Structure 1
């Protein structure tokens, strides 16, 4: 069974960027793991234990709907990855890749406006260097509404997808059902993290390749 690791800075990134694809891969008997590097809310809620626990519960419920085998939480500081060493982030990701030994990795996009996302992309590439014994065959970066499209679109880091995963209405509805579990993150339309905007984004990506719905990615590297 092929193992897939979805690396995310914060809870809900995995649903927004890869939710439909996770559902489709689970249907094809892939084994999916979600790794959330940060505590997800320490900065947002100033260490409020009740809120932190609520965010974790939301994450488990959302990923259960997607069909994820295991959710792994790191404890790096939310929205403050630029305050710790690059080596520390590398080591945290490497511990998980060594444990799971995935063949496929999804990670953040290098041009996201969120600094945590940028740093995780960089660390993912360091950890996934194609050295002897490395099991990783494919690395993709994904888009996160309210971060990727707000990055600098005048640079080489603009998100220009070269991979599209087509989805059906049932899969999109299931993705939205998972996102609904993130009550602390879901917003009203026309915010990019509203359910209507999520559907609109999937329709836009699908229409780009002649389908009703899709999620899009950048293939960073493939070994075959």
Structure 2
């Protein structure tokens, strides 16, 4: 496959808020600021009071999403608000329908999606739903699909699927510090090292991917499909 680089509309599909920062925060900033692309954020799950979450936590999460949307200057934000850690209980048609509606409205050329071997069931289900919405004859705008890696999910998978094998590396050297600032918005999701979702681990992964590709810092992706 040949990587398509002249893309003007990128959507990142995040099973949960924070996946977009962990997996592609630097890349999204590059797409928006350096390449002049439009970027969109599709959030699959959401917490609510009706599902038993405290009102203050729901309000805090909504505020986090709003802050992240402003930080990245997303051109569009789509929220399905499906129950987290319960996607396997829902009809796949409901999830696919939500993804389809966002794709039809935004008309993305590039789709960033969680890896199918991630340990979290939500990630695997979201991948399958997005795969259904990448057929060229139904979604002709989609030219490229890449899987991103998510700390504490991609690196903890034990199932017998093909592991994450990065073959695309995006230089985020000038955006690594901003990626860290974006993650600071999700205060409850960050822990002390060696917790996987720590600033030290995020920086170490970026430096390791950078060392593999000749940059000071990089984000890695697995190119799944490219139409040029």
Q: For the superposition of Structure 1 and Structure 2, which TM-score range results when normalised by the shorter chain?
A: over 0.9
**Structure 1 residue 42, shift from structure 2 partner:** 4.9
Alignment of 1:214 with 2:218, yes or no, is: yes
Aligned residue runs from structure 1 range 96-175, under 5 A: 96-131=102-137, 134-152=140-158, 155-168=160-173, 170-175=174-179
Q: How far, CA to CA, are the matches of 2:152 and 2:87 in structure 1?
A: 19
Alignment of 1:183 with 2:187, yes or no, is: yes
Is the Cα contact below 8 Å between 1:22 and 1:67 reproduced in 2?
A: no
Q: How far, CA to CA, are the matches of 2:169 and 2:90 in structure 1?
A: 34
Please, which runs of 5 or more residues in structure 2 have no aligned partner?
1-6
Aligned length in residues = 220
TM-score (norm 1): 0.93
Q: Which sits farther off after the overlay, 126-135 or 16-25? A: 126-135
Shift of the 105–195 alpha-carbon distance from structure 1 to 2, 3 Å rule, reads same
Please, which runs of 5 or more residues in structure 1 have no aligned partner?
none
Q: How far, CA to CA, are the matches of 2:76 and 2:56 in structure 1?
A: 23
Q: Which sits farther off after the overlay, 105-114 or 66-75? A: 66-75
**Structure 1 residue 98, shift from structure 2 partner:** 0.4
Alignment of 1:197 with 2:201, yes or no, is: yes
Q: How far, CA to CA, are the matches of 1:186 and 1:210 in structure 2?
A: 28
CA RMSD of aligned residues (A): 1.7
Q: Residues 3-53 of structure 1, C-alpha deviation per residue, up to 9 Å, x if partnerless?
A: 1111011000000001000011111211111110111x359x832222112
Q: Which sits farther off after the overlay, 155-164 or 196-205? A: 155-164
Is the Cα contact below 8 Å between 2:109 and 2:142 reproduced in 1?
A: yes
Q: How far, CA to CA, are the matches of 1:63 and 1:202 in structure 2?
A: 22
